[in-house]
């Protein structure tokens, strides 16, 4: 605020005593010099130019209208005083000279005041902009520090969504078959959902075998959840519809949501077979997180967790653990496409001629989220099933192009699937796809059976 570029003052404040003292001194000095230099005509009325008039003009420029008029008035009073004391040449005073002296003082002072008001307005505008700039600078610095801390936190953390699900899977794997997986893993399940949904107050509640009633005792909570009424409107609606339900934000803002439910959202844990295992009752979550994208992510996570907790007997009957995992993820991709409109891709590469080098190349081409399942079909051909979760049809085309490039690099530019004896059978898991279509693809086109893939 004290920087030189913000100092618009031309002189000390006009209301100060120094300005009045300086007005008297400068005017007195002009009159005194006139008496000393030209005693016969101190105010230069009869000279070539009335030099004492510079005093009110100077004071008008420096201090404004009032001081300029006051100084001009002093000159006029000095003129009448000299006339009173009988100074020759001042017996007859031209009235136009008096008016001219007063007008010079007033005019110069008024112009000074006008420009001073303009400068003050500019100063006020400049101070306001400086204030806004300082406020923006502080906000920018806070955001920058926050972003740096977030980068450090993310860079130093190895906890991702996939690793969280893998951690739950490892805990489930070491549990005895007769153990209650839901009770044992309730705390990590709630912690994971709270992490990705920014939940403040929530609880996990078991649903009975019929999927009609919620047991009031919470398996795990975050925050002070309090008792959950089994007659809550949102809980009933969640059980009835078997899907995520939430209160509209407009009702929460208006304060009328409590008439229907004490919760903000209910998220069911439903496996790929549509069996309801539990519900996550959310009583409080931040405003920025209460949106469709976050709720959809929570519903997706809840479905994957339900698949882990509910050990599917149809999947468990498969003799191969790799086939069990592939079937479970295939069912989940089918449910994601149907419920959340998230497509996936499925490829079947049938080797009509034995080629171990090609088989190893295809297995090495597996990406991080893809799943591979090598099987032998009823035509006695090796077949590689490749599941591409959360992949659009355009993404599946890109995957096929990448595999074709690998074949060109490894077997020569003229090589392709046909020349190597590979039959490619694609299938897109898109919204609205029927499960029977998937069975026809696997069992009829690919030549598999329900002991290899169970859907």
∠ Cα 247 266 336 (to 5°): 105
Q: What is the arrangement of strands in the sheet containing 265-270, beginning at the earlier edge strand?
A: 214-222, 201-207, 276-284, 265-270, 245-246
120-126 contact pairs (CB < 8 A, 24+): 120/8, 122/8, 123/6, 123/8, 126/6
Structure tokens at 44: 């230069």
H helix and E strand count, the chain: 15, 9
Report pLDDT for 178: 54
| CA–CA distance, 85 with 107 (Å, rounded to integer) | 31
- Sites in the chain below the pLDDT cut of 50: 1, 4-5, 10, 157-158
Prediction pTM value:
0.46
| CA–CA distance, 140 with 29 (Å, rounded to integer) | 58
Q: What are phi and psi of 5, to 5 degrees?
A: -70, -10
- Are the C-beta atoms of 31 and 38 separated by less than 8 Å? no
- Are the C-beta atoms of 280 and 266 separated by less than 8 Å? yes
Report pLDDT for 346: 92
109-113 contact pairs (CB < 8 A, 24+): 109/59, 109/60, 109/61, 109/63, 109/64, 109/65, 109/66, 109/67, 109/68, 109/69, 110/64, 110/65, 111/60, 112/10, 112/60, 112/61, 112/62, 112/63, 112/64, 112/65, 112/68, 113/64, 113/65
Rg (CA), the chain: 45
∠ Cα 177 315 359 (to 5°): 120
- Are the C-beta atoms of 273 and 306 separated by less than 8 Å? no
Best CA proximity match to 186, nearest among 221, 137, 228, 227: 221
| CA–CA distance, 124 with 255 (Å, rounded to integer) | 43
Report pLDDT for 163: 65
How far is Cα of residue 258 from the mean position of the Cα atoms in its chain?
Answer: 29
Structure tokens at 96: 């136009």
By the 10 Å C-beta count (0-12 exposed, 13-18 middle, 19+ buried), 454 is classed as buried
Report pLDDT for 1: 46
Ramachandran sector of residue 386 (left: φ over 0; alpha: ψ -120 to 50; beta: rest): beta
- Tallying the residues shown for the chain, one arrives at 455
pLDDT in tens, 280-317: 889 888 877 787 888 888 888 888 788 777 655 555 55
Report pLDDT for 158: 47
Q: What is the arrangement of strands in the sheet containing 382-388, beginning at the earlier edge strand?
A: 371-376, 382-388, 344-351, 422-429
In a 13 Å sphere around the CA of 138, the CA atoms on its Cβ side amount to: 5
- Are the C-beta atoms of 442 and 326 separated by less than 8 Å? no
DSSP 327-382: HHHHHHHHHHHHHH---EEEEEEEESS--HHHHHHHHHT--SS-EEEEEE-TTS-E
């Amino acid at each position: 605020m004290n920087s030189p570029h913000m100092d618009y003052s031309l002189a000390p404040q006009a209301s100060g005593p120094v300005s009045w003292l300086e007005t008297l001194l400068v005017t007195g000095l002009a009159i005194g010099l006139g008496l000393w230099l030209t005693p016969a005509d101190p105010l230069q009325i009869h000279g070539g130019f009335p030099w004492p008039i510079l005093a009110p003009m100077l004071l008008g420029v420096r201090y404004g209208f009032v001081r300029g008029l006051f100084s001009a008035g002093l000159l006029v009073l000095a003129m009448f005083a000299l006339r009173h004391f009988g100074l020759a040449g001042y017996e007859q005073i031209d009235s136009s000279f008096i008016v001219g002296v007063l007008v010079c003082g007033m005019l110069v002072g008024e112009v000074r005041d006008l420009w001073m008001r303009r400068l003050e307005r500019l100063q006020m505008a400049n101070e306001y902009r400086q204030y806004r700039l300082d406020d923006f600078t502080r906000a920018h610095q806070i955001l920058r520090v926050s972003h740096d801390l977030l980068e450090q936190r993310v860079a130093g953390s190895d906890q991702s969504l996939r690793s969280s699900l893998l951690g739950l899977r490892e805990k489930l794997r070491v549990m005895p078959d007769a153990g209650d997986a839901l009770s044992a893993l309730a705390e990590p399940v709630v912690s994971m959902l709270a992490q990705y949904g920014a939940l403040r107050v929530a609880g996990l509640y078991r649903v009975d075998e019929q999927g009609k009633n919620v047991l009031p005792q919470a398996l795990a909570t975050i925050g002070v959840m309090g008792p959950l009424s089994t007659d809550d409107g949102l809980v009933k609606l969640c059980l009835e519809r078997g899907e995520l339900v939430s209160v509209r934000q407009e009702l929460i803002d208006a304060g009328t949501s409590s008439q229907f439910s004490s919760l903000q959202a209910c998220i069911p844990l439903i496996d790929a077979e549509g069996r309801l295992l539990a519900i996550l009752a959310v009583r409080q979550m931040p405003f920025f997180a209460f949106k469709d994208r976050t709720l959809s992510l929570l519903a997706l996570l809840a479905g994957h967790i339900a698949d882990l907790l509910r050990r599917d007997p149809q999947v468990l009957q498969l003799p191969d653990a790799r086939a069990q995992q592939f079937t479970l993820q295939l069912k989940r991709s089918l449910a994601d496409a149907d419920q959340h409109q998230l497509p996936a891709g499925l490829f079947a590469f049938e080797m009509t001629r034995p080629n171990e080098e090609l088989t190893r190349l295809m297995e090495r081409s597996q990406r991080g989220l893809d799943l591979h399942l090598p099987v032998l079909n009823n035509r006695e051909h090796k077949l590689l099933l490749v599941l591409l979760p959360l992949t659009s049809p355009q993404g599946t085309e890109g995957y096929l192009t990448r595999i074709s490039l690998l074949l060109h690099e490894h077997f020569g530019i003229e090589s392709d699937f046909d020349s190597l004896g590979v039959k490619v059978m694609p299938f897109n898991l898109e919204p609205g796809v029927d499960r029977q279509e998937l069975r026809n693809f696997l069992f009829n086109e690919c030549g598999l059976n329900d002991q290899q893939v169970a859907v």
